[in-house]
Amino acid sequence: MNAIVKELQQNETQLREWFEHLHRHPELSMQESQTARYIEETLRSFGAYEIETGIGKHGIVASLKVGDSDKAIGLRADFDALPIQESNDLDYRSETAGVSHLCGHDGHTAMLLAAARHLAETRNFDGTVHLIFQPAEETMEGSPAMIADGLFERFPMDAVFGMHNMPGLELGKLYFTEGDTMAAVDNWEVEITGKGGHGAFPEHAIDPVVAGSSLVMALQSVVARNVAPAHRAVVTVGAFQAGQAGNVIAHSAILRLSIRTTTPEDREMVLGNIRRLVQQQSESFGCTSEIREGVPGAVLTNDPEETRKAAAIAREAFGEETVFEEGPTYLGSEDFAFMLQQKKGTYCFLGNGDTPFVHHPEYVFNQKILPIGAAYWVALTEGYLARQG
């Protein structure tokens, strides 16, 4: 077993306490005030870091300089939760109705906190490490907000690194992929407005539910009949909300879309076709429509050199059998992509084992990987900022 993992396992009780506290008290994107306060208080208890808060609203950067080197890296963890009701019967289950950490951001934060304490105690590196605790990954707002608030100007760094647990990948293994690794996502809200009325008198109304239903089906042709089979894209209507009663024709309907593409050309074409279909389908039923676009998407692209470097450091620390290069790619998305547009770096996956997938009501972050993820952050810092001589 890796020596750093062994050392971190000696404090595993504390690591689990951090994780379980965060899991019990989830907060939605850009609402994470109590989570940010908890992270800040924990970091201050280590007594070693320069801590800046309120970056991009709730973001935190904790910096530690050791030695004389000008080299610096950033390690990033996210800490927002999802608007999903947890179905797990856990001692530490979410205490907030309809909100839960079902993507593992609580685990990501706990791992970086554990690494922070270990680095503060050992100081076995030469340079500066910036620990980036980021809000609002799920809505793709947090990373752009921190960047706009001067993240890379205020905290200069040579490279930035991210990590995500991944169900379906072998427990405790690290996976590295060069180049394009995750899709660009565009989260749109479409509102179709008709004319409300009584369910018994449809001739006096204009039904936005019928228009919306037709739109849902039409959207399925965007990828199937416009994106080359060798490429990858998906258009998902994750929410369709209209009315409250069966005998009432709603005045309007809301559709929430998740649009994922892997090339700039496909993205432009897919979004253009969606705009066209929204307008035409709505008008064909006598309705009007409005599209509210979210943060523009970006493909997550790992720098090949930094990916190979991080994988080599992990291999030296954990052994050949723990590290996989040529790792998987996903149509899932990550706003860490925006950080990688600004700084070279890489984003790896840590196997969560055979569990339900992220965003599933029964997803569980496997606590066995907590010290492994923390050890990766420590090894990466010590390897990247190795002492000379």
For the chain, domain boundaries: 3-182+299-384, 184-293
Percentage of the residues of the chain whose pLDDT score is greater than 90: 96
332 pLDDT above the threshold of 80: yes
| Region 195-219 average pLDDT | 98
Contacts of 253 (CB under 8 A, 6+ apart): 191, 192, 194, 208, 209, 211, 212, 240, 241, 242, 243
Q: Is 58 annotated as a binding residue?
A: no
What's the pLDDT at 389?
Answer: 62
Q: Which fold has domain 184-293?
A: Alpha-Beta Plaits (3.30.70)
Tokens of 292: 């509210």
| Region 11-23 average pLDDT | 95
Same fold, 3-182+299-384 and 184-293: no
What's the pLDDT at 328?
Answer: 96
Q: What is the pTM of this model?
A: 0.94
Grouping H, G, I as helix, E, B as strand and the rest as coil, residue 328 is coil
143 pLDDT above the threshold of 70: yes
Q: Which of 68, 96, 67, 72 is nearest to 84 (CA)?
A: 96
What's the pLDDT at 7?
Answer: 84
| Region 225-229 average pLDDT | 96
What's the pLDDT at 36?
Answer: 98
**Tens-place pLDDT, residues 58-82:** 999 999 999 999 999 999 999 999 9
| Region 162-171 average pLDDT | 98
Residue 10 banded pLDDT, cuts 50, 70, 90: confident
Residue 4 banded pLDDT, cuts 50, 70, 90: confident
Q: Is 230 exposed, middle or buried (0-12, 13-18, 19+ CB in 10 A)?
A: exposed
Q: Is 118 annotated as a binding residue?
A: no
Terminal-residue alpha carbon distance, the chain: 27
| Region 41-69 average pLDDT | 98
Domain 3-182+299-384 has CATH 3.40.630.10: yes
Q: Is 21 annotated as a binding residue?
A: no
Q: Is 27 annotated as a binding residue?
A: no
What's the pLDDT at 387?
Answer: 85
**Tens-place pLDDT, residues 336-386:** 999 999 999 999 999 999 999 999 999 999 999 999 999 999 999 999 999
| Region 8-30 average pLDDT | 94
Q: Is 348 annotated as a binding residue?
A: no
30 pLDDT above the threshold of 90: yes
145 pLDDT above the threshold of 80: yes
> What is the SS3 assignment for 275-302?
HHHHHHHHHHCCCEEEEEECCCCCCEEE
Dihedral of CA atoms 233, 237, 238, 244 in degrees, nearest 10, equals 180
**Tens-place pLDDT, residues 148-158:** 999 999 999 99
**Tens-place pLDDT, residues 251-263:** 999 999 999 999 9
| Region 310-315 average pLDDT | 97
Q: Do 339 and 147 contact (CB within 8 A), yes or no?
A: yes
193 pLDDT above the threshold of 80: yes
Residue 188 banded pLDDT, cuts 50, 70, 90: very high
What's the pLDDT at 62?
Answer: 98
